Amino acid sequence: MQRSLYDNDHDLFRDSLRRFIAREVVPHHQAWDRAGIVERSLFTKAGAHGFLAMDAPVEHGGGGVVDFRYNAIIGEEIQRAGVNSAGLGWTLHNDICLPYFLSLTTPEQKARWLPGICSGELITAIAMTEPAIGSDLASMTTTAMRDGDHYIVNGSKTFITNGINADLVITAVKTDPTQRHTGMSLVVVERGMVGFDRGRNLDKIGLHAQDTAELFFTDMVVPVANRLGEEGSGFLSLVDKLPQERLSIAVTAVAAAQQAFDITLAYVKERTAFGQPIGSFQNSRFRLAEMATEIAFAQSFVDGAVVGLNEGTLTAEEAAMAKWSCTELQKRVIDTCVQLHGGYGYMAEYEIARAYADARITTIYGGTTEIMKEIIGKSLGV
């Protein structure tokens, strides 16, 4: 499908990024999968090449270009190269964490944190989910009680992407435990703070190169100067930033579906059964036609949503539509692609098998499919 989303500058960026991924990520991907974590040098190398914090101000080391199309290209190229488990923390750093540091920080905080975020020397994460709560963020029990110029933080978080590598963790806490939404605030927890402990690197069924950790806070002292925004505004800040996060997930979901389709199309043209390529059977052609059509429609919707985000018109409901529909499409397409691969599709050495395992989480993180439908349904007045 011919796309009109990108111009020549974006194409040049994509070419440079594609070479970078081929050189700095693909050769190490299997080793990182086995280790359960990427080397920190991935971030510093990406920063040195201008692939981090493209929309951060130039004076702090960023690209100074506010255009989510560059972020989308990174998500697409990571999928095209089949290195999603190594790249998820990279897109989290750019697409999800950086906006908090751009819009909620004071000049002093910007000067303190943005240069390292842009260079990759400070890896970021965001901690919302707790062992006992997922989507119901207002029920969190991690507290941050004010004590002069500090907060005393107690509690825990789980399923935190970049949880092992992170130097700066945007952490959702209750500064007023008697309140639900209005009692939430955001504080930045820094590596090395006394009382901050990381649990194990969680063993997942997919995304093996992406470190995902438990975090524990025991009488941890965090300066009030590390708070993002006003006290009690944390929930509203999260709600404000979630559309971009969900669009980022949708972008990569469509790209993952496209990559699975491409490798499967090549496979069914070469693999033979009963004396002819398996792609020539009517069932195979029909399934391929269905997938190609669904991917094209999803890509068109997502491209429009990227334009909407750039223009400031993307709504929470539209982002929710993109997130749930594209991640469900990703799962459906990859499942069909595994089927078309036959027994080889179940072998871990095949890219389609790894994509199958990696895809299962996408309808859960960033807001489950069910929560996305709730958001859309409420907007319809029902």
Catalytic site residues? 245
What DSSP element (H or E) covers 159?
strand 150-161
Cα radius of gyration (the chain): 21
Report the candidate in 203, 204, 146, 149 with the shortest Cα–Cα distance to residue 176.
146
- Cα–Cα distance for residue pair 340/200, rounded to 1 Å: 37
Task: Please classify residue 195 by burial: count the beta carbons closer than 10 Å to its beta carbon, then call 0-12 exposed, 13-18 middle and 19+ buried.
Answer: middle
Q: Tell me how many helices (H) and strands (E) the chain has.
A: 12, 10
DSSP letters, 80-104, are: HTT-HHHHHHHHIIIIIIHHHHHHS
> Partners of 272 in the beta sheet?
277
Q: Rounded to the nearest 10 degrees, how much is the dihedral formed by the CA atoms of 15, 18, 23, 27?
A: -160
Q: What are the phi and psi torsion angles at 6 (to 5°)? A: -110, 150
